[in-house]
Structures are given as structure tokens and as C-alpha cells.
Structure 1
Amino acid sequence: MKTLAAARPAELDPSLLADSPRQREDFAHITAESRERPVGTSSVSPVRLRPRLLPLGAVATIAASAVVLSVLVGQGTGDTTSTPAATRPPSSTPATLNDRMELLGVAQAAETAAADGTYWQVTTRSENVDVVGERGRRYTLRSTSTEKWSVGVRSGTQSLMVSGLDARTAPRTAADMARWRDAGSPHQVEGQVKADSRLKVRFTVGAGRPMVMHTNMGNKIYALGPNNVSYHDLRALPTDTGTLRQELLRLYRQDGGADGRTAWMLRQIANLITMPVKPGTRAAAYRVLADLPDIRVEGPATDPLGRSGMAIILPVRATTVLGAVEQRLVVDPATGALLSDQSVLVEPSAVARDAGLKPGATVHYEATTQMEWAHRQITVPANAKEG
């Protein structure tokens, strides 16, 4: 609990919000949903739909530049409700036998990963798209940053996450830049947290400051399902496909059966394949993935950084302030590496359409650019603030 309290920026202190039941409810909703974001990512909206690798036991926080405001959203205006996900043909077909065989090929490639080291280090590049401004004058912001997470697996080592490297928030397109300038080129702008929320979020346009956070708790270095786990726990995970599937199902039941089994399993597998597990466990995770019902495979596919791979699409959609989004992973079939985790807009809301967003737009991605063993801890920038 002390770790969680220390991770929370002052802007999220419940005592600083007006003490109304609705605002307390909104705050709880935000922190519950944002739990699936890495801690400390700069200049982004608090509500993110994709679970990524979480520091153990940590509740992901709103960036220091994004301040939650207890501002009432006008009632009865008709422009603040996200369009519900409509029934429409899927963007790709259900996984066929050939698709599943290709996934099994990915699993075989994953078995050749390096064995072991002192620090397991993952570097990601992320981008989030948010809509700001008033109706009729809305525009989109693009917030980008780099994150480095170095997990110490030996006795006496520490785990560090440095987020917000090269962080920058700016209008997304030339048209967005023009609207921003028409609004007076404000340094701080506001957007909605949720379509039906009374809270708004503030973004700071410009460069951000990196944040460093200590992410281990003793020998516990990751969250797996509902539990905090050690490196020993990770290395003890099964390398047999059937046994790993049963272990994940046990964790799913322990986690209360949240989110639907297929979606939950896909999320855990997406985490597992970027953890320092045995190569055999990583391969088994892909084989479990190949057997999941209702996943869709799309290939060849290109990730947001232009790298070629194959896309694995989640069988459910989520509704955000921008509308209905589809979650997809892009993996490299030659190496078994996770290239990116993306949220793609399939049914824009009125808010999104007002800002010019169209179906097919990637509104969030987190691309893995490096994943390897190292013998030295990462260097923390001198200007990094403690998270």
C-alpha cells in the first residue's frame, strides 16, 4: 500500500477532489481502468484499454502533465456520448488451420531465445491519441514517449522503470495544428476522461520530463494474473502447453473471471511473452494462444513502426470516449518477438468524428523496440523525477 501511495501523483489524491459521491465514483473508475497502463507514462489520457507489463502491485497513474479536474460536463448537449460498438463484419477472418499453424511457427521461433542474465530489459515506444477542445473546434493531440524497464533478477538487484523519455505532446496533423493555433496555441488543453464522466483531463503541449520508478518489492518483480511473482516463480512456469494452459486458467479463476476468459488469456499471454520466462514457456504461451477460440489472424501486417509481422486480433471490442476500439498484437513470426500492442478505432464516436478521426486510425500503440538480457542496470537521466 505504501508503494501504491508513493506512485500516486498529487493530482490523484482523493482528498483534492470535491467530495461528492459521483466524483468519488469517477475517480475509482479511472484508477481501476488505468491499472492496465505502465506506471508513469507521460502526457497521456488516464483511461487506457490495453494491459501491458505492470510493475507488480502498482496502479498505473495519470501522467504528471495530465491533471484531473472536477469539472461538470454539460448535460443534454448530445455530443458527449461515445457511439456504442455496432454489429459489423470483422476486419479479418477467424483463425483458420493455416493461421494456427503459422502461430505454431511463431512458437517454434520463440524457443531459440537467449537463456539468462542479470537484468531483463525491455524498451518500448508508445503513442496515444487524445481529443481536446470544445464541440465544433475539437482536434487531436499525439503524445509520444520511450520507456525503459530493467528488471533485476539476481539477489540484491533492483528493478527500475524510466518512462517519459523523449516525451512530447503536440497536435497530430496539419489540420490539428491549425485548430490549435486558432485556439490561441494554448500550452494546456482539456479533454474528456469518459463520454459520461464529470471529470476532464488536462494535457500540457510540449516536451515532458522523464520519471523513474522502483518496481520490485523484495524479490517480487512482476504481476502475473492477480499475483506478484519472483524470477524463480517465472522460471518455474510450465513449458508444456497443456500444463501452462491449466495454470493460466487457475489464475483466471483466482482473478474472479474478469473480462471474459479469451480476452484475459490473450492479455496474460501478451505479458508472458515479454517476461524473462524460459524459452519453452514463451513457446508454450504461443501454443496456448493458437488454441484460443474466436481470435482472428491477419497477415502479413505492419506495426506502427513499419515492421512486418502478423496481427492477432482480440475477439471483443471496447468502447472509449473515442468510440469502439479493437485490440491487436503484432508479432514477428521469424523470432517470436512481440512487436506492438495496438488499439485501432473501428467505430468513431461523435467526439472523435468532430476531431476528424476515422475508422482504422491507431489511437494507441506500444511498440517493443528492444528485449534482451544485460549485465548492467540502465542509466537514469539526471532530470528524472521520482515516481
Structure 2
Amino acid sequence: MRDEDLTGRASTTGADALLAEIVSMERPARRRLLRLPGRALLGLAAAATAVAVIAPAMLSDNTISVAPQPGTSTSATAEPTARQILLAAAVAAEQAPASGDYWRYKGVTRWMLTDPTRNYVLEKARAGEQWLARRTGLQSWRIGQDLGVKPATPQDEAAWRAAGSPTSWRYPKDMKTENLFSVPHRPLEAAAGERTAERLRWKTVGDLAGESLTWKKMRAVPDEPETLRSYLEERIGRLDLTGSGMDVEEARKHILLRDCVDIISTLPASPETRASAYRILASLPAIRAEGETTDPLGRRGQSLSYQEEIEPGVFAEVRLVVDPSTGLLLSEVRANTTELADGRQAELRVSRSFQEIGWTDERPQLPTRRN
């Protein structure tokens, strides 16, 4: 089946499974030459009478590489496309556990912001867990810990030392930020905080297409690609986006993309629904493959990027790092630039790194401090 045969619709399960083999199956590095009558296989390469299928090798550190065929130039090789990576992740996501007492999310959030004087950039980190109890009688929990604040780069550290190496930062409420970050409402502290837990008493499990979801509504979210897309687009179409200042159709496309990212990350969806969200993402032309990379926690994965309009005319670059062999979204990173007081252009990044996503029968390890 050719890629062009699948344009504009979800692919078949068989085609997805074959893509998963090509993109993420562990095997010795090699290329095979398949003799086929005038058809390109999955759009990876084409010839009049034969097609060369690239077989990536899964190395010992779970990275993906493409081995060139002996005697050919390196230009004949091809890295996995965004579509191939996402469809391989879809196949892997379907193999995840489908039930458990808790939906568990565990990760680390990092965000950068300038110091109050705009002379250097700080990076703040926080670890977080969310345990949503599906079974009656179990308590839902949110667990968090501030991991501290530090200068973001060696250049920022030099400016921080020149400012007297402060260990806390208090921000004025009217500080200009170009909407790139929220002004902290309380002082930032360099030292890490205590791990704490909070009982969750609300009845919702997340938001999708502008609607808060209960467990009942979450179970009603479709698990097939075409019906899931129709479900999301119908609800997105109800949203009043006329006051956003952005093109309404483009805004709707962006919300569809964001909803799919939420489904594969934090929402307590079934494996089939998460796989369908990956397949919808695979059909979106805005997502580009950027090759293998390291995420903020040092894990290797395939990088995918797209642009996000955060306000009219202001764009951020968004990077998703995916492990196609497990179907896990490793991280999501947004980047933009700002000008510091001395005129230096500085990058501001916000990242979410996902360590655990999915259903489990385990119990949370609760800290002593809880409310």
C-alpha cells in the first residue's frame, strides 16, 4: 500500500503494523532489496521495477538508526517520516494495559523565565504525579515537589553571580513578559521543596475539546480514528473562537492537534483511543520529523515539531519526543525567544517530560505531608 493511497484518512491496522516493523523492530542493521512490480512500499522509496525498503536497527540504547545498503550513497537512505513514527507509536500504544485501579501520570515540568530585572534566565523544575482512582473506595491523589530554581545556561549563571548569587526572586505583578510566561505570584526559591500530596475531590478527569470530562464521558470517547476525529471536530466546531484574533479554521486545526496530544499523554484513555489519537496526528501535515534527539531527562527518542500560535502573530516552536517502540510520549517542549535588558536574545523553554503514563494496579507512595 502506498502512502498516497492513505492520504486524508486513517490507515488500516495491517499497514500500521507493517510500519511499526519498519520503524521500530529490533533487528541487525541491514537493508533488503525487494523485487516488486512497479510499486513503492509505504512511500519509503520508489523505482520502476524494484523498491528498497529501509530496515532501521534498534540499538542497545533503544535508539533508531538507518543502515545504508552496501555500495550505495548515503543520499539513498531516509530517516523515518513523522507519519511513520506516529503510526509505529500507535501500534505500540495498543499493547499497553487496558485496565487498572488507577490512571497514573508521573513526570517532570521545567520552565524558563527571566529574573525580575531581565538580566538573565532562570529554570524552575517540579516533579508531579497524578493518581486517578477508577474503582469506588479508592482515593485519587496529586503528588508534587518543587525541585528548585537555577540559572538556565552558563552565560546566565555568570550574570547571576554578577548580581550577587541570589537564592530567591520576587516578581512585580505588572512585569512585562510578552505573554511568554506567567509572572510568579510568590517568590521563587533556589532550594528544593518538600514532597507533598493532595487528595483530589473533583469528579472530572480532564478536559477535551473545551469540555470537562467525567469518568462516564471519558468512557464515551471513541476508540476508532475516524469516529474519534469526527467526535473531536464536532465539539471543536461548537467553540466560539471569533474573539481569539486568529484565523478560526487554523485555530480549530490547532485545537484538534492539542486534543490528540492530551489523549496520548495525560487523559485516562483506553489503549485503542490513544492509538487512534496517534493515527490522527499522523494524518496532520503540520507535524515534521526532526530526527533522533535527547529529551530533557536524557532519554533518546524521535523528535517531531510543529509551530503553535500562542497569540495573534506570536509563534512558539513545539517539539514532541516520542519512543515509537513503546508508544510513549517522552516529552513536549515549547521554545520562544525574548530580549534581555542588555539586548541579548535568550531562549525560553517550557517542557513536560513523561515518566509514567497509563493504567496500573500499583498504589501511590504517599509522603508524610498530605492534605
The interval holding the TM-score normalised by the smaller chain is: 0.5 to 0.7
1:189 and 2:169 matched: yes
How far, CA to CA, are the matches of 2:162 and 2:297 in structure 1? 31
SS in 1 for 2:108: strand
Higher relative contact order, structure no. (Cα contacts within 8 Å, ≥ 6 residues apart): 1
Contact 1:234 1:276 (C-alpha < 8 Å) held by counterparts? yes
Contact 1:296 1:315 (C-alpha < 8 Å) held by counterparts? no
Q: Residue 207 of structure 1 aligns to which amino acid in structure 2? A: A
User: What's the counterpart of residue 49 of structure 1?
Assistant: none
Q: Residue 263 of structure 1 aligns to which amino acid in structure 2? A: H
1:262 and 2:261 matched: no
Over residues 279-331 of structure 1, what are the superposed CA-to-partner deviations in whole Å (9 max), with x where a residue is unaligned? 111111111111224222222233222222222323334369xx853112111
Q: Residue 225 of structure 2 aligns to which amino acid in structure 1? A: T
1:277 and 2:258 matched: no
Q: How does 1:88-103 map to 2 (within 5 A)?
A: 98-103=81-86
SS in 2 for 1:195: coil
Over residues 143-183 of structure 1, what are the superposed CA-to-partner deviations in whole Å (9 max), with x where a residue is unaligned? 112111111111233321112x2521122334433332332
Over residues 190-215 of structure 1, what are the superposed CA-to-partner deviations in whole Å (9 max), with x where a residue is unaligned? 45452389x95442232234443334
4+ aligned runs moved over 6 Å, structure 1: none
Q: How does 1:204-219 map to 2 (within 5 A)?
A: 204-218=189-203
Could you say if the C-alpha distance between residues 214 and 264 of structure 1 is closer, same or farther in structure 2, counting changes exceeding 3 Å? Answer: farther
1:298 and 2:290 matched: yes
Identity within the alignment, %:
29
Q: Return the offset for 1:335.
A: 1.5
Q: Residue 94 of structure 2 aligns to which amino acid in structure 1? A: E
1:139 and 2:120 matched: yes
Match of 2:106 among 112, 123, 137: 123
Match of 2:93 among 72, 93, 110: 110
1:157 and 2:146 matched: no
Could you say if the C-alpha distance between residues 375 and 185 of structure 1 is closer, same or farther in structure 2, counting changes exceeding 3 Å? Answer: same
Contact 1:139 1:356 (C-alpha < 8 Å) held by counterparts? no
Over residues 216-252 of structure 1, what are the superposed CA-to-partner deviations in whole Å (9 max), with x where a residue is unaligned? 523x322223222233332332121110001011221
| Alignment TM-score, normalising by the size of structure 2 | 0.66
| Alignment TM-score, normalising by the size of structure 1 | 0.64
User: What's the counterpart of residue 46 of structure 1?
Assistant: none
Larger Rg: 2
Contact 1:159 1:221 (C-alpha < 8 Å) held by counterparts? no
Could you say if the C-alpha distance between residues 200 and 102 of structure 1 is closer, same or farther in structure 2, counting changes exceeding 3 Å? Answer: closer
User: What's the counterpart of residue 210 of structure 2?
Assistant: 226
Task: Tell me the matched-pair count.
Answer: 278
User: What's the counterpart of residue 364 of structure 2?
Assistant: 378
SS in 1 for 2:340: helix
Q: Residue 212 of structure 2 aligns to which amino acid in structure 1? A: N
1:318 and 2:310 matched: yes
Q: Residue 263 of structure 2 aligns to which amino acid in structure 1? A: L
